[in-house]
């Protein structure tokens, strides 16, 4: 391992890096550098000191040396885009699948709104920032409201987008303020349109609140991007069809959907408690292995079946594909039958997908408004 590196800093790095540089220049004792593991005569040494950053004590990001002409954001190449954090870590931090759970934790912290606003003004005056990606793991409703109110009070003009939980604290008033203050997109992690699955993965949200939030975003002029997963442990075909139905039904309020086929990562709740989630892990854990193969002990979807459901979603989403896809299409091969019906955009008609277990084929059909009612 020593051949690969001489030292590493764990947890956060601002204070440790500063202290490390000072001691490397002066020949000081490296064991007094917090969060540092370094190569010593008998092997690697951990001095045991620990530092935790107070976000209000950090300086504004310095982008000196970056040629912003090489970058663009959104649809306009004239925008100067930057990345910035208003908080660190996730205030929920309980999702069963979370890839961040194995990482060292310092606790959720926010930078004071007046510091954030001063930084934004600095980024604009020094580098002409016109688009800001707030790259927190998530922004809290309280901080979003304070940020929006501060932007409006100071008359700062720029576009921004942010990652957030579908927290019921995102009221219509808060989202309206954010839209007025330049928020153009919120990226939410929904994962599933089945309340049963949301409860299993400990997402901590209700679908009724989700629908309200995305509708309120649309009313505020904020685009909604959703991150979804398919093929999670204990997920059934009915769960996936509920997800498809939810997304299609709410299509008018959703700007973008990104699907991931579920992958198992180390040290999350699913990995540490595989039997609880109805899976077995196929190979032992090894250093630096990030993706782990697993088998379902009970109900669950194969990756091929997950891809078939994604194909069905894409067919239902885009009615332009109907002419070539209305004939029978083989989808699934078990003994159950499935039907999903969902309205498409502003169309009064609906689409249905019916699966016949005897014929092992499915058929898309269009039904009238009266029949749907």
The predicted pLDDT at position 248 comes to 79
The predicted pLDDT at position 362 comes to 58
Q: Which two tokens stand for residue 220?
A: 């505020």
**Is-contact 117 156, C-beta < 8 A?**
yes
Q: Tokens 């000081």 belong to which residue?
A: 28
- Taking CB atoms within 8 Å and a gap of at least 24, the contacts of 275-281 are 277/96, 277/200, 277/233, 277/234, 278/233, 278/234, 279/233
The predicted pLDDT at position 365 comes to 61
CB-count exposure of residue 62 (10 Å: 0-12, 13-18, 19+): exposed
**Is-contact 86 133, C-beta < 8 A?**
no
Rounded-to-integer distance, Cα 17 and Cα 58, Å: 13
**Radius of gyration in angstroms for the set of CA atoms belonging to the chain, rounded to a whole number:** 25
User: Looking at the whole model, is its pTM more than 0.95?
Assistant: no
* Torsion sign, CA atoms 25, 27, 32, 37: positive
Q: Which two tokens stand for residue 223?
A: 């685009």
Range 73-317 classified under CATH 3.80.30.20: yes
Question: How would you write the pLDDT of the chain (373 residues) with one tens digit per residue?
Answer: 556 788 999 889 999 999 999 999 998 899 999 999 998 888 889 989 999 999 999 999 999 998 887 766 544 556 788 999 999 999 999 999 998 866 667 899 999 999 999 999 999 999 999 999 999 999 999 999 999 999 999 999 999 999 999 999 999 999 999 999 999 999 999 999 999 999 999 999 999 999 999 999 999 999 999 999 999 999 988 888 889 888 877 888 999 999 999 999 988 999 999 999 999 998 776 777 888 999 999 878 888 888 878 877 887 776 544 444 433 444 444 445 555 554 444 444 455 666 665 665 556 566 554 444 4
């Amino acid at each position: 391992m020593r051949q690969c590196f001489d030292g590493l800093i764990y947890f956060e790095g601002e204070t440790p890096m500063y202290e490390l540089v000072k001691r490397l220049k002066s020949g000081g004792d490296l064991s007094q550098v917090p969060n540092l593991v370094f190569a010593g005569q008998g092997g690697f040494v951990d001095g045991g000191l620990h530092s935790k950053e107070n976000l209000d004590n950090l300086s504004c990001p310095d982008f000196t040396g970056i040629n912003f002409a090489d970058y663009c954001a959104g649809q306009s190449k004239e925008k100067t885009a930057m990345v910035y954090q208003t908080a660190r870590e996730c205030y929920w931090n309980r999702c069963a699948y979370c890839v961040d759970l194995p990482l060292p934790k310092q606790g959720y912290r926010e930078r004071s709104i007046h510091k954030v606003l001063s930084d934004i003004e600095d980024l604009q005056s020094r580098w002409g920032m016109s688009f800001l990606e707030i790259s927190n793991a998530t922004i809290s409703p309280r901080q979003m409201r304070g940020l929006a109110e501060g932007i409006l009070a100071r008359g700062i003009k720029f576009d921004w987008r942010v990652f957030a939980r579908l927290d019921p604290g995102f009221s219509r008033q808060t989202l309206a303020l954010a839209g007025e203050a330049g928020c153009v997109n919120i990226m939410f992690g929904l994962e599933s349109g089945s309340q049963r699955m949301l409860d299993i993965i400990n997402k901590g949200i209700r679908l009724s609140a989700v629908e309200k939030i995305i509708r309120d975003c649309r009313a505020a002029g904020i685009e909604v991007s959703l991150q979804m997963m398919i093929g999670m442990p204990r997920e059934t075909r009915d769960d996936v069809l509920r997800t498809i139905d939810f997304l299609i039904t709410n299509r008018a309020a959703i700007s973008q959907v990104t699907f991931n086929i579920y992958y198992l990562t180390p040290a999350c709740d699913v990995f540490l408690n595989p039997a609880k989630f109805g899976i077995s892990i196929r190979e032992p854990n090894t250093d630096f292995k990030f993706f782990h193969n697993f088998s379902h002990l009970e109900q669950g979807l194969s990756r091929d079946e997950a891809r078939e459901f994604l194909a069905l979603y894409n067919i239902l989403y885009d009615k332009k594909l109907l002419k070539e896809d209305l004939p029978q299409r083989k989808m699934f091969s078990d003994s159950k039958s499935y039907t999903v019906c969902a309205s498409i955009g502003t169309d009064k008609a609906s689409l249905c997908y019916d699966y016949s277990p005897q014929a092992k084929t499915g058929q898309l059909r269009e039904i009238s408004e009266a029949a749907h009612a």
